Amino acid sequence: MDTAGWTDPEVADMVAQLARQQEDVEQARLAVEAMTVKGGSRGHEVVATMRGTGELTEVAIDPDALRRYDAHDIGGLVVEAVTDAQRRLARATEARFAPILDIAGHLPRS
């Protein structure tokens, strides 16, 4: 963002700060989209892999689990693993954006 047109130094500084924050938000967004998280069922019989975009990319099922559990139970394990991956992605996203949100909380309000 160009701050050259602002004559009031305080306004120009606020505009420059806003531009830096917009860049920080964009960098955080790109970092989140690039991450991959894995979540698992309680016994890790099923592992779900998810991209930072929320796209589920893989579900891996332990072959022993296929012999021990019926289809209904396997379905429950898949849900557990996907839910765990979603939670992990939410925590990672929150951690990535926390510094930006902390800075935004300290901005002067008019």
Please write the tens of the pLDDT for every residue from 14-39: 888 888 888 888 888 888 899 999 99
Overall fold of domain 9-105? Ybab; Chain: A; (3.30.1310)
What's the confidence (pLDDT) of residue 107? Answer: 54
Q: Which two tokens stand for residue 44?
A: 């890790």
Q: 3-class DSSP state for residue 36? A: strand
Is the pLDDT at 109 greater than 60, yes or no?
Answer: no
pLDDT classification of 1: cutoffs 50, 70, 90: very low
Alpha-carbon span 31 to 44, nearest angstrom: 27
The arithmetic mean of pLDDT across residues 38-65, rounded, is: 97
CA 67 vs CA 30, 43, 60, 64, 75: distances in Å: 41, 15, 15, 5, 14
State the DSSP code for 53. T
Helix H or strand E segment including 49 = strand 46-51
Instruction: Compute φ and ψ for 76, nearest 5 degrees.
Output: -65, -40
Q: Which tops the pLDDT comparison, 100 or 58?
A: 58
pLDDT of 108 reads 55
List the domain boundaries for the chain. 9-105
73-84, pLDDT tens digit by residue?
999 999 999 999
